[in-house]
């Protein structure tokens, strides 16, 4: 409808919008009207006022008025309610005309309380600017400080921002839903500034607010209003994916914000992932439609080190080739080696552009972040990262339940030891790694030997023969006669006939030299890939990766179905210990025994898993504590 020069039609439209708001929000706390700060503060203890000066503030954060004088003239969306013939209506129309001719530049006056704004002077200016769809308005701001309360989560979030600088308004238009997010953002910003020459010597409040406003504008334009998260929460998620968008062109920033929709929705709606824990449990596993010309798939596998120097790569390559044979022409695959973690995003992006695969498997946990970016930007390609599950990433993952084998091997070690002291060569102490395999190893040992003690040794470099030898020597010197050793997967090692192995359970001499091989855990990656690709061929993933509100997939396979295996040296173990191992292996595979069943206490005596409780997948993968019977931790020294 055309707008007349006297502003009558715009006022009528605005008034209708206000009346609709009243009707739609009649049952709200304020019955569809504006909140009044004076009333909200009645009986509330505050700590005084702070004048913050003149700043640009988002209109969406202006939620009410300071006094009740004009509250009845506006609906809760600041649209006018009074009749067209009133003096109020005439002033509104005049102000609207002034905005069209010259723009509204005079700052309004507001009070800021708990991150929200209440108008003292300038209600009509807020109304007109809201009507024309403006993003922000200039305001003279006075902050009302609430009294701190440790038990009030909202206050803790508010004071987390204030503690940065109570007299600053640099982050006044940010609001987070979780305690700690702002502090994390500041730490990330400080680290980013140290690495960015153009930000040298600048504090976060000197550059971060403008970067945030650029993001907020594009987030608003993207139309994500139905996403249940604050803009600042969305910004923190964007930073997790892309980093700080400093000097990013507006069109590029807009595209990146849009690509993050799936990540935003996953975090805001807390969509539970779909966890697949059984091999071949889908109705057809890809086989049922082989003969009727069903779907076909092109899968690209991306590795770090090439197979001639990496057992890890060779074991996955065995699985890749197994998939091609198993699906006999339905699946074509290609392997790409030598992708560098630091440049992974660019290389993966080029692979997607050139190969256009249906599925992309990034066979390295270090590719996780780059895989997330690629997955968000290329929803037509299903991206899977070989890694632990991460509820903070909209990323499909797959891995094996290594803790199941560790549990059985721990029981074998506990039964075989003569000293009642066993050892494990674990990941480097400085690297973050979940300790579930270590804890499962101790639980298995304790199940058969109540006198057992466990010692752990961490190498400086993971999967190195020399480091493993030093660890064995240190453990043996402290009484260990059975040790679960690493099996090298990276580095220039000779080809092995058993590339599916990833550890060795050995008895050792007092100097750490291996006396006998007792057992070894193995992973059949072909079983894992057959399950994932089979489900794709069956159409199980028709919406996964393509719908922004679809859940992530976590493939977490183990002994059941043969994804994980245990080889035993029966002649050395003897019939009774061998039978024990096989009985436990079957019990775990059929879910009759869970390796991490409570009670479990950490080394400080704190109960971590309650009696008879089975920890969840995420609780297992996020274990950062060590079981109480691990009585010594050793680190290979220089």
CATH number at residue 425: 3.40.50.2300
Main-chain dihedrals φ then ψ at residue 508, nearest 5 degrees:
-130, 155
CATH number at residue 107: 3.90.1530.10
Q: Is 448 exposed, middle or buried (0-12, 13-18, 19+ CB in 10 A)?
A: middle
pLDDT digits (tens, 9 = 90+) for 177-192: 999 999 999 999 999 9
Contact status, residue 78 vs residue 15, Cβ threshold 8 Å: no
Question: Can you tell me the mean pLDDT for 318-325?
Answer: 94
136 and 154 together in one domain: no
Residues near 544 by Cβ (< 8 Å), separated by ≥ 6? 274, 382, 396, 550, 551, 553
> What is the average per-residue pLDDT within 39-65?
90
Last residue of a domain, one of 147, 171, 186: 147
- Kindly report whether the global pTM for this prediction surpasses the value 0.85: no
Q: Are 326 and 537 in contact (CB under 8 A)?
A: no
**Is 324 found in the same domain as 228?**
no
Q: Among 230, 250, 270, where does a domain finish?
A: 270
Tokens 């990496």 label which residue?
310
Same domain, 477 and 564: yes
pLDDT band (50, 70, 90) for residue 625: very high
Mean pLDDT (the chain) is: 88
Closest of 71, 63, 14, 66 to residue 41, by C-alpha: 66
| Same domain as 505, residue 520 | yes
Looking at the structure, do residues 294 and 386 belong to the same domain, yes or no? yes
Do 477 and 606 lie in a common domain? Answer: yes
Verify that 161 and 112 share a domain, yes or no.
Answer: no
The count of structural domains within the chain is: 4
- Where residue 433 falls among pLDDT bands split at 50, 70, 90? low
The better pLDDT of the pair 625, 547 is held by: 625
Q: How many percent of the chain have pLDDT more than 90?
A: 65
**Band of residue 544 on the pLDDT scale cut at 50, 70, 90:** low
Residue with tokens 């256009």: 356
Domain range holding 180?
150-270
User: Is the separation of the CB atoms in 459 and 470 below 8 Å?
Assistant: yes
The per-residue pLDDT for 278 is: 76
Is 108 in a helix, a strand, or coil? strand
pLDDT at position 541 over 80? no
Q: Kindly state whether residues 101 and 247 are assigned to the same domain.
A: no
List, for residues 260-314, the tens digit of each pLDDT value: 998 998 888 767 788 888 766 443 344 444 433 468 899 999 999 998 888 889 8
Residues 182, 318 within the same domain: no
Residues 519 and 408 in one domain: yes
Domain boundary among 251, 270, 289: 270
Same domain? For 408 and 521 the reply is: yes
Do 248 and 386 lie in one domain? The reply is: no
């Amino acid at each position: 409808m055309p707008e007349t020069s006297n502003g009558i039609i715009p006022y009528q439209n605005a008034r209708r919008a206000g009346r609709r708001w009243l009707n739609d929000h009649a049952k709200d706390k304020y019955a569809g009207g504006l909140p009044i700060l004076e009333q909200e503060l009645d009986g509330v203890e505050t700590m005084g006022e702070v004048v913050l000066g003149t700043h640009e503030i988002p209109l969406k954060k202006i939620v009410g008025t300071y006094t009740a004088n004009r509250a009845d003239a506006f609906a809760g969306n600041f649209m006018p309610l009074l009749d067209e013939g009133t003096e109020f209506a005439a002033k509104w129309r005049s102000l609207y005309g002034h905005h069209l001719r010259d723009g509204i530049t005079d700052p309004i006056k507001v009070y800021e309380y708990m991150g929200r704004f209440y108008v003292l002077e300038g209600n009509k200016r807020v109304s007109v600017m809201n009507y024309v769809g403006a993003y922000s308005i200039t305001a003279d701001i006075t902050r009302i400080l609430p009294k701190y309360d440790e038990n009030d989560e909202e206050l803790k979030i508010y004071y987390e921002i204030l503690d940065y600088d109570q007299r600053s308004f640099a982050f006044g238009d940010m609001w987070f839903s979780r305690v700690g997010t702002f502090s994390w953002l500041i730490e990330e910003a400080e680290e980013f500034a140290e690495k960015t020459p153009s930000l040298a010597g600048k504090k976060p409040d000197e550059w971060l607010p403008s970067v945030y406003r650029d993001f907020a504008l594009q987030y608003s334009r993207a139309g994500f209003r139905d996403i249940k998260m604050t803009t600042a929460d969305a910004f923190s998620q964007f930073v997790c994916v892309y980093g700080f968008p400093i000097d990013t062109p507006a069109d590029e920033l807009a595209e990146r914000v849009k690509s993050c929709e799936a990540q935003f929705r996953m975090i805001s709606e807390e969509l539970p992932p779909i966890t697949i824990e059984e091999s071949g449990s889908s109705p057809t596993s890809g086989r049922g439609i082989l003969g009727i010309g069903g779907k076909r798939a092109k899968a690209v596998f991306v590795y770090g080190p090439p197979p001639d120097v990496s057992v890890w790569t060779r074991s996955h390559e065995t699985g890749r080739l197994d998939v091609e044979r198993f699906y006999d022409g339905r699946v074509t695959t290609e392997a790409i080696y030598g992708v560098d973690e630091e440049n992974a995003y660019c290389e993966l992006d080029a692979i997607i552009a050139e190969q256009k695969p249906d599925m992309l498997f990034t066979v390295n946990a270090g590719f996780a972040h780059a895989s997330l970016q690629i997955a968000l930007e290329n929803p037509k390609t299903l991206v899977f990262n070989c890694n632990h599950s991460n509820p903070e990433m909209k990323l499909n993952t797959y891995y094996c339940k290594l803790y199941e084998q560790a549990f059985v091997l721990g029981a074998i070690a506990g039964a075989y030891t003569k000293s009642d002291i066993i050892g494990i060569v674990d990941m480097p102490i400085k690297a973050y790694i979940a300790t579930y395999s270590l804890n499962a190893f101790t639980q298995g040992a304790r199940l058969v030997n109540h006198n057992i003690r466990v010692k752990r040794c961490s190498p400086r470099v993971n999967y190195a023969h020399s480091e493993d030898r030093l660890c064995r020597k240190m453990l043996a010197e402290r009484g260990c006669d059975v040790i679960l050793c690493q099996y090298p997967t990276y580095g220039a090692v000779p080809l092995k006939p058993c590339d599916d192995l990833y550890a060795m359970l050995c008895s050792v001499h007092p100097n750490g030299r291996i006396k006998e091989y007792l057992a070894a855990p193995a992973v059949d990656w072909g079983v894992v890939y057959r399950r994932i690709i089979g489900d794709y061929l069956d159409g199980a993933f028709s919406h996964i990766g393509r719908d922004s509100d679809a859940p992530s997939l976590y493939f977490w396979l183990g002994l059941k179905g043969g994804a994980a295996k245990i080889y035993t040296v029966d002649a050395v173990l003897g019939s009774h210990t061998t039978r024990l191992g096989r009985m436990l292996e079957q019990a775990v595979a059929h879910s009759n025994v869970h390796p991490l069943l409570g009670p479990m206490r950490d080394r400080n005596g704190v109960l971590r898993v309650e009696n008879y409780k089975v920890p969840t997948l995420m609780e297992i993968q996020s274990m950062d504590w060590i079981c109480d019977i691990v009585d010594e931790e050793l680190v290979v020294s220089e």
